[in-house]
Amino acid sequence: MNEAPRPGRPRSQATHDAILNAVRDILLSGGYSEVAMDRVANLAGVGKQSLYRRWPSKAPLVAEAVMDAYGQHRQFALPDTGDIEADLRTWLHGQAEYLGSPRNVALSRALAVASADNSLDGDALYSQLAKPHHDALLLRLNGAVHAGDIRAGVDLEAVADALIGATLYRILTHVRTVEETTRHFDGLVDALIVGLRVLDRDELVP
């Protein structure tokens, strides 16, 4: 009599998870330069062909490993409550939660260093990690312009760069608490929202 299948994750999912865990372990112990397909396969206990069936090279493999840690299997879209200030705060508070983990910061820091050291891998990593955030911010900001929530003529690219740059700065500096990072991001939104909504310089004068 055949045994009933055992419950649990499918073998392919277990293999996938083992590979991503191996990549993260290597990133944390040695950085991006130490990630190699052979080494990942050995650490994960799988054949190298298992890696190449899923990823053509290490850049997309590393990107997915970090995305998996980030919990970004969901869409990158920002919330759209009709209030751009509230939506930016919600998005940045989520970034603060992520950056509250020293492990997450170390993973993201390894990628930032890799992007600076290798332009080809940097482009690949940007397209899979930073660009979706940038595009999502631009989409939400453009929606706010059309809704009249922020004034027309604002350099939205610069705003998106400032928001992403703020998160990168927190990654490259020492690890901080979620509360401290949240306060920092709230201060950024306070400053940005004045420029986004003020129509006349006279309105800045008490």
Helix, strand, coil tally for the chain in percent (to 5): 75, 0, 25
> The domain that contains 23 carries what CATH number?
1.10.10.60
The CA-atom distances, in angstroms, between 126 and each of 4, 103, 113, 133, 206 are: 45, 20, 12, 10, 43
For residue 47, what are the domain limits?
11-68
Do 133 and 39 share a domain, yes or no?
no
> The domain that contains 136 carries what CATH number?
1.10.357.10
Do 96 and 198 share a domain, yes or no?
yes
Do 39 and 24 share a domain, yes or no?
yes
Residue 3 is assigned to a structural domain of this protein:
no
pTM of the model: 0.72
pLDDT in tens, the chain (206 residues): 444 444 444 458 889 999 999 999 998 888 888 889 999 999 999 999 889 998 888 878 887 888 787 765 445 678 999 999 999 999 999 889 888 888 888 887 777 766 666 666 667 666 666 788 889 999 999 999 999 999 999 999 999 999 988 988 888 776 678 999 999 999 999 999 988 885 544 444 44
Do 79 and 145 share a domain, yes or no?
yes
Please give the Cα distance from 150 to 198 (Å, whole number). Answer: 8
